[in-house]
Structure 1
Amino acid sequence: MMKTVGSVLDANRGVGPGFGLLRLILAVSVIFVHCSLVDGGANAEAWWPYGARWGLANMAVPAFFVLSGFLVAGSMARSRVDTFLVNRVLRLVPALAVLVVVTALVVGPLVTSLSPAAYFGDRGFLTFFFNVLGRHQDTLPGVFEQNPEHIVNGSLWTLSHEMSCYILLCLLTGAGVFRRRALVLAFALGLYAAANIIWLADRAGIALPHHELLTYVFVTRGAAKLVPLFLVGVLAWQYRASIPLHWLPAVLSGAGLVAVAMAGDQSWAEMPPVWVLTAPMFAYVAIYLGLANWFVIPLLVGVDYSYGVYLYGFTVQQTLLHLMPGIGNYWLFFAISIVPTVILAMLSWHFVEKPALGLRHALQDRVVRLVDGIAALLPERLSARLSRAEAR
C-alpha cells in the first residue's frame, strides 16, 4: 500500500520530522541570496552558475508560505479560532518585537550618520516600531546611508503577508469555508485565475475596468503571489489522505523547479503562469522533505532557529557592510554573515521565542474564558453562531 501525506503525518503524530531542518535551510538560503548586498546586486549574477540567481532568490519565500499553510492548517483544525490566534501571535510577535527594539535602539544609534538628537527626533525612528504590528518600514533615519542599499531589514516585508494569511484562514474558518476543502480549492484557483486573466489582458493590450487597481491587487502586490501559495499549503493538508508520498514525484518536482530556473530569468518571477506551474512543485518538494525521516539533524530536534535567522540575517549583513565597506567577495561575505546571525538566532530561540511559546496554554485559557464570557452576554442566536465558529 502506497504511503500518503496523511498516513506519514499521522505516523509522526502530526509533526513531520524534517520540517525544522527545511525551515532552517530556507532561512539560510535567504541570507545567501542577500549576499548580493555587497555591491547592491550589480554583479550578483557573476557569482551564480548559468545565471540562475533569480531561481534560488525566488524559491525560499514561496516554500516558506507553502510550508506555513500546510502546518497551520493542521493547527487550525485542532484549535479554536481564538486559541489559534494566540499561538500565532506568540510565535511571531515577541521575537519580532525584540528585533525591532534592538535595531532601533542599539544598531541604529551606533551606525546612523545623524546626531542622537536628530536620530531620535526623526519621525522615521518612531514609525519603525510599527514593524511589530506588521506595518513594514525598512529604513531608519541616517542608517546604512553609505551602504550600496540603505534598507535596514529587507526580510520583514513578508511578515505582514504572513499575518494576513493567518487572518484570512481565521475568516475562512469562521465562515465555514475551511471545513469544505472544495471551497478552499475554488478560492485558490480563483485567485490564480484572476492573476492570469489580468496579466494576459495587459500583455494583449486590453484595458479592463479598474485595470491598474486589479493589476496591483492580483498581480504585482506581494500578497497576490504569496496568499495563493499559502492556500496551496492549506489544500495539501486538507487533501493529505489522497496525495501519495513518493520520492519520484519529489525528484520530478525538484527537477521542474530547476528547469524553470535554468530556462527563465528574473522577469519570470513576475509571471502568473509561472506561479501556477511552480506552486504544486514547491508544495510537493517541501512536504516530502518535511515528512522524510532521513531529513533530520539530531542536534536540531526540539529547537527552531529558522525564524531568528530570517529576522536577523539582513540587518547583520548590512552592519557588516557598514563596518567593512570594502568587502566584495560573495562567498566570504556569506561565511562571515552566517556566524553572528546564527548566534543571534540561538539567543532569540532560547531567551525569547521558546519562553514566549511556554506562555501559550495560560494565555489560551484566559482568551477562551474571555471569549466565552462575551458570548454568554450576546443574544442567544449570535452566541450560538460564535460558539460554532470557535469550534471549527
Structure 2
Amino acid sequence: MSFRSAFDPRSNSLNAVRLVLALSVVVSHSWALAGAGPEPELGEANLGVWAVFGFFGISGYLISRSRLSRHSVRQFYRARFLRLFPGFVVCLLAVAFVFAPLSLLWAPAASFSILDQIGYVLRNLLLYPPVLGQYDIGSTLSAVPFVDVWNGPLWTLFWEASCYVLVGVAASLMPRRLLGPFMIATLIAASAATLVAEHSPAVPLLITRTLPMLAAFAGGAVLFLYDEKFIRRWAVPAAVTLILVSVATGTATVLAPLPFTYLLFVLSAIIPLRQVGSRFDISYGVYIYGWPVQQMVALIAGDSLPVWLFIAISVAGTLPLAYLSCRYVEQPALAFKTPRVPAAVGADAS
C-alpha cells in the first residue's frame, strides 16, 4: 500500500502525535530547568531534538500540501500568520506582564522595569529573531538553574516561519515538477551541511542547530511531493533501519529526520486516536507555555525536586494554559483564515 492511499488527510491521529511531541519537549527540558544534570540522549540527540525533528517534518508535509492546494498565495500566507502569531504574541505578553511579575513572589531580590517588559515583547515580536531577540526580563530568573531565559523553545518558531516562506516562494517561482527535485536537493544539502557543521568548531551553534530542522522540513515536503513512491512494504523497514543506524552511529541529526517523519505519519494513519485534538488541539500551547511554567516551578521549588516530579508538576501547570490559548486565542484567530465574501444579491448564500 502506498503512503498516499494509507494516509487520510481528513481522518488521522496527527493531532495526537503532535501533542506527544510537544509534551516530549517539556519532558526534555526538565533536566536542564530542574538542575537535574545531563539529559539522556539517543543517537547524540536528546528527546527535545527528536521532537523538533517531528514537528518540522510534519510541518514540511502539511505546509507543502497547503501551499499547493490553495489558489491564492495571499490566503496561504494569511493562514500561516494566523496559525503562529496570535498565540505567540499573547504568550509574549503573558510572560512579560504575568509570569515575570509573579516571579517576584519567590525571588524578592530580583527586579525589572517596564522597559524590560516592553523590550521583551518588542524585540521578540518577529518570532524570536536571532541576534535581536531578548531572553530575560530584568533579573527575574537569576536564581534558577537555567538562568535568564523565560521561553527557550520560541527560537525555533522564527526558523519554522522561514521554512513556510521557503515553500511559498519556491512554489511561486518554479513549476511543480521542479519543486520535488528542489526539496530533495535541500534535504541532501542540509543533511550534508549538518554533518560538516557538527565536526567543525568554527561553525556557530545556531547554524548547527538550525540545519537539521531545515532537513526535517524538507524531508516532510519530499514525503508529500513523492507520497505515492513510499510503499509501506519497503519504506517502513527502511525507515526503521535508518533510524537504528543513526542511533548506533550517533548521527541522528543527519540520517533521522526523513525516516522519523515518515514513521510518525504511518503511526498517525494506524493508531486509533483520531478524536484527540479534534476539537481542541493544544499541542502549540503546550510548546509555547511549557518552558515558562517550568521556570516558575524551578523558582518555587529550586533544584530540590526529582526530575519525574518536576515533569509531572510542569505538565499539570502547562495543560490548562495550553487549553486557554487554543480555546480563546488560536481558534478565534483561525476563524479569519478564509475571508468572508458577501453573497451577491439574489445569489444562493448557503
**Normalising to structure 1: TM-score of the pair?**
0.76
In structure 1, the residue corresponding to 2:232 is in which secondary structure?
Answer: coil
Q: Identify unmatched segments of 5+ residues in structure 2.
A: 343-350
Q: Give the 3 Å change call, closer, same or farther, for CA 330–195 of structure 1 in structure 2.
A: closer
Post-superposition Cα deviations, 1:310-360, rounded to whole Å, max 9, x if no partner, equal 010010010011112253211111111111211111111111111111111
Query: Which aligned pairs between 1:116-135 and structure 2 lie closer than 5 A?
Result: 118-122=112-116, 125-134=118-127, 135=129
CA distance in 2, matches of 1:147, 1:242: 50
- The residue correspondences of 1:150-229 to structure 2 (distance < 5 A) are 150=147, 151-176=149-174, 178-180=176-178, 181-196=180-195, 202=200, 212=202, 215-216=203-204, 220-229=207-216
CA distance in 2, matches of 1:111, 1:82: 41
1:277 is aligned to 2:255: yes
2:57 alignment partner, one of 37, 47, 66: 66
Partner residue of 1:329?
A: 306
Q: Whole-Å Cα distance in 2 between the matches of residues 289 and 167 of structure 1?
A: 28
Q: Find the partner of 2:81 among 63, 77, 89.
A: 89
Give the share of equivalent positions with the same residue, in percent.
Answer: 26
The reply on whether 1:298 has 2:297 as its aligned counterpart is: no
Q: What one-letter code is carried by the residue in structure 1 that aligns with 2:170?
A: L
Query: Quick check: which one's helix share is greater?
Result: 1
| Cα distance change, pair 230–126 in 1 and its aligned pair in 2 (3 A) | same
Q: Which amino acid aligns with 1:138?
A: Y
Contact 1:81 1:173 in 2 (8 A): no
Post-superposition shift, 1:18? 1.2
Match of 1:142 in 2: 139
Q: Deviations over 1:136-174 (max 9, x none)?
A: 432221122110012111111110110110111112112
SS where residue 360 of structure 1 aligns?
Answer: coil
| Equivalent position to 1:110, from 96, 102, 105 | 102
Structure 1 range deviating more: 174-183 or 333-342: 174-183
Cα deviations across residues 59-105 of structure 1 (Å, max 9, x unaligned)?
Answer: 10011100100111111111132111100100000000110001001
- Contact 1:26–1:64 under 8 Å retained in 2: yes
Q: What root-mean-square deviation, in Å, do the aligned CA atoms of Structure 1 and Structure 2 show? A: 3.0
Conserved 8 A contact 1:95-1:308:
yes
The structure-2 alpha-carbon separation of the partners of 1:255 and 1:78, relative to structure 1 and needing over 3 Å to count, comes to same
Q: Contact 1:30/1:60 (CA < 8 Å) preserved in 2?
A: yes
Do the aligned partners of 1:27 and 1:307 also contact (CA within 8 Å) in 2?
A: yes
TM-score of the superposed pair, with normalisation by structure 2 = 0.84
Tell me what 1:346 maps to: 323
Shift of 1:128: 3.7
Deviation at 1:109, TM superposition (A): 1.8
* Structure showing greater Rg: 1
Q: Contact (CA 8 Å) 2:212, 2:254: kept in 1 or not?
A: no
CA contact (8 A) 1:16 1:290 kept: no
Q: 1:31 aligns with which of 3, 26, 29?
A: 26
Alignment correspondent of 1:42: 37
2:233 is equivalent to residue 235 of structure 1? no
Deviates more, 1:131-140 or 1:63-72: 131-140
Name the CA shift for 1:317/1:241 in 2 (closer, same or farther; >3 Å).
same
Query: Aligned partners of 1:178 and 1:192: how far apart in 2?
Result: 23
Q: Distance in 2 between matches of 1:251 and 1:28?
A: 27
